[in-house]
Amino acid sequence: MDNLSLYRNLNTELAYVRWRHAGYESEEEDLIADRLEDLWWKLTESEREILRAEPQQSLITPSKGHRVLVDVEDPSGIHRRLVDVKE
């Protein structure tokens, strides 16, 4: 498997791990992130440009009527809140 394909596969795996841990950090996430960082520097500049142009990886694409959990910052700190998807 070439480096670009491996990077994409690891990125998908990272999205799944983050989803499984509800966005909280985990040792598994750290290991994958470290592998991604090492692999990033092995990519050619043209491969990096391809990745930069791609949309961010997500396992779930919310649509109208769904509610999503988002981090909201206010003067008292950052809080998680459910927000309705309007579009």
Tell me: pLDDT of 19 over 90: no
pLDDT at 50: 92
The domain of 51 spans: 3-84
Tell me: pLDDT of 42 over 70: yes
- Read off the tokens for 39: 């692999």
- 81 has which bridge partners? 70
Tell me: pLDDT of 28 over 80: yes
Cα separations (Å) of 17 from 3, 20, 35, 45, 71? Answer: 21, 5, 14, 27, 18
Q: Rg of the Cα trace of the chain?
A: 16
How far is residue 30's CA from residue 73's CA, in Å, rounded to a whole number? 25
Whether 65 and 78 have beta carbons less than 8 Å apart is answered as no
* pLDDT band of 17, cuts 50, 70, 90: confident
Question: pLDDT tens digits, residue range 4-13?
Answer: 999 999 988 8
Q: Name the residue among 40, 43, 50 with its Cα closest to residue 14.
A: 40
pLDDT at 65: 65
Taking residues 1-22, report their average pLDDT.
88
Total structural domains within the chain: 1
Question: pLDDT tens digits, residue range 48-76?
Answer: 999 888 877 666 666 666 666 677 777 77
